[in-house]
Amino acid sequence: MSVLSDVPTSTDDDSRTIETDILIIGAGPAGLYGAYYAGFRGLSVAVMDVLPQQGGQISAMYPEKPIFDIAGFPAVRGRDLVANLVAQAEPYGPRYLLGHRAAELSHDPDGRPVVRSDQGAVVRAGAVVITGGVGTFTPRPLPAGEDYLGRGQVYFVPDPAEHTDHDVVVVGGGDSAFDWASLLAPIARSVRLVHRTDRFRAHRSTVEKVRALGIEIITDSEVSALHGAGHLEQIEIRHRTTKEARLLPARTVVAALGFIANLGPLQHWGLALEARRIVVDTRMATNLPRVFAAGDITDYPGKVRLISVGFGEVATAVNNAATVIDPEAALFPGHSTEKEN
């Protein structure tokens, strides 16, 4: 695996352009499996993602949460699933452009896609496979807490150990908020959950799990201020009806208020879209030449958005892309068990 930090900043010199058979846009589960499958087919592959690590939403939002609908795994922790997918692709040497947003798409005189990132990377590929999940996602801000970002206020908890022995306040009422609360309870000094109403978006079983842990759930309240000299020390919450204020100790506040998702620059590429999803056919081909898509970002009649479905879709996309890159190539390369180790 190579992670590219020193990438081209200009297209004036073709020698500064990354050449690859397939460029995968999105390093979530589908994209990582696509990197493996492209390598299995003997194709070179680069993977571009706006996030600084592989794994997409899993790494950003629920790395410690068990996932139960992956074939062959009764349960697998999100972090472990991502690590296994990276390891699966590793023998084929995918090149990762992490922290790069796919900004512009054009085609060279030979019809090959050329993608430029917002960081100046330029990739010329035989085909592009878009596996961008929900697209780019931006956390909904905690209005009173932006000044403490990096000083106690976080949106995600990729490494729970960083919050060991902290007083933690989780703000939100969805599954992520309750998941963070239950995850941190065994290692934090204290955990409280604050939500603006007494109704939760989280599943009832998730809420009951948090209650059973003895975590204090404070409802009908909002965070009105954060306090601390340098680093966060306390948060102030205010009851929405009585306006009564309360100070809570807090070394960490997790703002789990959901996120805003959009396709970002992809929506300006000329892709056929339906409800902010990319329309594909049975080959996972889009309306643009040599551009395919797979996973949650796609739409077609009967679409089911599951990680397991995305695995099959990206294999279909890569196989069909291979026949576009080389018209003499077979659509089906054979089973992996037929290959020599």
- Give the orientation angle of helix 204-212 with respect to helix 175-184, to 10 degrees: 20
- What pTM did the predictor assign? 0.78
Residue 82: how many other CB atoms lie within 10 Å: 22
Task: Report the alpha-carbon distance of residue 26 to residue 59 in Å, rounded.
Answer: 13
Q: Domain 141-257 carries which CATH code?
A: 3.50.50.60
- 53 assigned binding-site residue: no
In DSSP notation, 260-305 reads: EEE-GGGGGTT--EETTEEE--TT-B-SSTTEEE-STTEE-TT---
Structure tokens given for 209? 């799990």
- 147 assigned binding-site residue: no
Extended beta strands in 34-181, E state: 45-49, 66-67, 76-77, 95-98, 102-107, 113-117, 122-130, 136-139, 153-154, 167-171
Task: Report the alpha-carbon distance of residue 122 to residue 136 in Å, rounded.
Answer: 20
Q: Domain 2-137+260-338 carries which CATH code?
A: 3.50.50.60
- 33 assigned binding-site residue: no
CB 21 within 8 A of CB 125: yes
* DSSP-derived 3-state class of residue 77: strand
Q: Do domains 2-137+260-338 and 141-257 have the same CATH topology?
A: yes
List the pLDDT tens digit at each of the 341 positions of the chain: 444 434 433 333 344 689 999 999 999 999 999 999 999 999 999 999 988 889 988 887 777 778 888 999 999 988 899 999 999 999 999 999 999 999 999 999 999 999 999 999 999 999 999 998 776 667 888 888 788 988 999 988 878 899 999 999 999 999 889 989 999 999 999 999 999 999 999 889 889 999 999 999 999 999 999 999 999 999 999 999 999 999 999 999 999 988 777 788 999 999 999 988 999 999 999 999 999 999 999 999 999 999 999 999 999 999 999 999 999 999 988 888 777 55
- 62 assigned binding-site residue: yes
Task: Report the alpha-carbon distance of residue 113 to residue 268 in Å, rounded.
Answer: 15
CB 19 within 8 A of CB 46: no
3-state SS of the chain: helix, strand, coil percent to 5?
25, 30, 45
- 57 assigned binding-site residue: yes
Provide the total of helices (H) and of strands (E) in the chain, helices listed first. Answer: 6, 23
Q: Where are the domains of the chain?
A: 2-137+260-338, 141-257
- The residue among 147, 299, 108 whose CA lies nearest residue 230 is 147
- 337 assigned binding-site residue: yes
CB 3 within 8 A of CB 98: yes
Which residue in the block uniquely carries the two structure tokens 């410690």?
64
CB 172 within 8 A of CB 206: no
Which residue in the block uniquely carries the two structure tokens 């978006």?
201
Structure tokens given for 226? 């954060």
- 13 assigned binding-site residue: no
Q: What is the pLDDT of residue 9?
A: 34
